Structure 1
């Protein structure tokens, strides 16, 4: 009898353990597979937000946890090279070419988001007689001898400094955040004053203001293409996420439309989810579904 009871207890324990394992597996299935964490670099530019949010939602649906790390360009490339950051959705070429070449042993260009993104020195269209950078020579005082730019550390900031020097322009580059730069530019345009600042597409500035990019006849600013970067470890760490990002693309006009919605006060992730819902065929293609 004693042996029978011991045997019965052991069988009961095995059954309970099996039930527990089954419940655990079922709970895991219901909650979605946890595949680990992917870290995105987010630079302080409006163009970075929509593609990052769209990719974030898709990756979370795939079972990943996604972290967003605010960083300037220099910190982004260093973080990617060290493996502290996994992905950056908004790398501009050729503007970021030097940083990419410096870290190309540890960073990979995974996909092209979109092409034909203009950038350079921007003026209001009411300023007459200036179509290219060399036309600024001798007229610097009309602009209070200032050009307004984005933050220190950005490739565009160094390119503007080099351009000012080569073109021998009597202009001081005033660096700030994107928001600070645009606030100063808007202040001048509200008074119909001539103003020079840095501009790029995609950006709502071209929807809000009557402005134009002037031709860079010194060759510093070219039409850009925007790329997805990843550290070299992502392919092994998250192969299905890597494959999704390899297939990534999004129209420039869609990014601008999402930026407008976000700046009008709509929640960033709601805007991204709307895009996903309205472009499910494109999302399926990126996921190879």
Structure 2
């Protein structure tokens, strides 16, 4: 009888061990499946220094929310194409009204979701040692002093067309020379090192205003207005990732903070993710507010 009882107990123990093993395997399988099914959010990144800090901060917060994050590098026009086609979910650095043309073109598939900050000045910039040049109109008739050139950013940027319209509107004998943001700054620096006349495109937030003594030229005809910077999402995000969409719809950040982070990244050569995490740590109340906590 004792042998029978021990046999039954042995069978029960084996069954229990097998069942526990199956439960553990099932749990592991569910965890693996959950991880493999985690949603990816793709953020578009233009080749502008102003895009980096907000993109890195949003990426870190979205990762903490459980999302996989990808970043796609492209010029502004390509970012909006990606947004409209669903290949890109979020763009953190849309400049309005300059980018209104994209919002109108892709209005069926993208939307303006939040404003990051406003009062972002932009326009033609000259060094302050050019004391007699304070407005665009002052350039008329002395274009040859600038070698009949002004330096702009990449061809794909919508501001490139605005600058061409400005040149025509003021009837200036000036050609826009386009390159990357870094290339434009390098060209301007070469001129400024010898205090030569130079015109280039400038905007805030940007470290150029921390590095150099610059002034934005007055522009009386309205080609440049004070801009506001916005978050743009594709129309699917609200349905596919409602908590991410809610966070982004509450997004805001001071322009001074963005400019300070740009300086840390460029001049102090601190990794963008480190700078972004520092901002999050120092602004947890604001982060909680954006997350709706």
What is the TM-score of this pair, normalised by structure 1?
Answer: 0.93
Shift in CA distance, 246/141, structure 1 to aligned 2, threshold 3 Å = same
Distance in 2 (alpha carbons) for counterparts of 1:21 and 1:276: 37
Shift in CA distance, 45/26, structure 1 to aligned 2, threshold 3 Å = closer
Deviation of residue 288 (structure 1)? 1.1
Aligned pairs for 1:1-289 (under 5 A) are 13-22=18-27, 35-264=38-267, 265-289=269-293
CA contact (8 A) 1:33 1:63 kept: no
Deviation of residue 15 (structure 1)? 4.1
Shift in CA distance, 28/272, structure 1 to aligned 2, threshold 3 Å = farther
Distance in 2 (alpha carbons) for counterparts of 1:202 and 1:249: 14
Distance in 2 (alpha carbons) for counterparts of 1:34 and 1:255: 34
Distance in 1 (alpha carbons) for counterparts of 2:236 and 2:53: 24
Distance in 2 (alpha carbons) for counterparts of 1:22 and 1:170: 72
Instruction: Select between 124-133 and 259-268 the one with higher mean Cα deviation.
Output: 124-133
Distance in 1 (alpha carbons) for counterparts of 2:118 and 2:36: 35
Shift in CA distance, 149/26, structure 1 to aligned 2, threshold 3 Å = closer
Distance in 1 (alpha carbons) for counterparts of 2:38 and 2:21: 28
CA contact (8 A) 1:34 1:65 kept: no
Q: Does the residue aligned with 2:132 lie in a helix, a strand or coil?
A: coil
Distance in 2 (alpha carbons) for counterparts of 1:244 and 1:13: 45
Distance in 1 (alpha carbons) for counterparts of 2:263 and 2:92: 19
Distance in 1 (alpha carbons) for counterparts of 2:283 and 2:11: 62
Deviation of residue 215 (structure 1)? 1.2
Deviations 1:181-235 (A, max 9, x none): 0001011011001100000000000001100101111211100000000000001
Q: Does the residue aligned with 1:152 lie in a helix, a strand or coil?
A: coil
CA contact (8 A) 1:43 1:73 kept: yes
Instruction: Select between 136-145 and 109-118 the one with higher mean Cα deviation.
Output: 136-145
Q: Unaligned stretches of 5+ in structure 2?
A: 1-8
Distance in 2 (alpha carbons) for counterparts of 1:143 and 1:194: 6
Deviation of residue 13 (structure 1)? 4.5
Deviation of residue 166 (structure 1)? 1.2
Deviations 1:221-274 (A, max 9, x none): 100000000000001111100000001000000000000000021011000000
What is the TM-score of this pair, normalised by structure 2?
Answer: 0.92
Distance in 2 (alpha carbons) for counterparts of 1:42 and 1:87: 9
Distance in 1 (alpha carbons) for counterparts of 2:21 and 2:125: 71
CA contact (8 A) 1:34 1:63 kept: no
Q: Does the residue aligned with 1:273 lie in a helix, a strand or coil?
A: helix
Deviation of residue 49 (structure 1)? 0.2
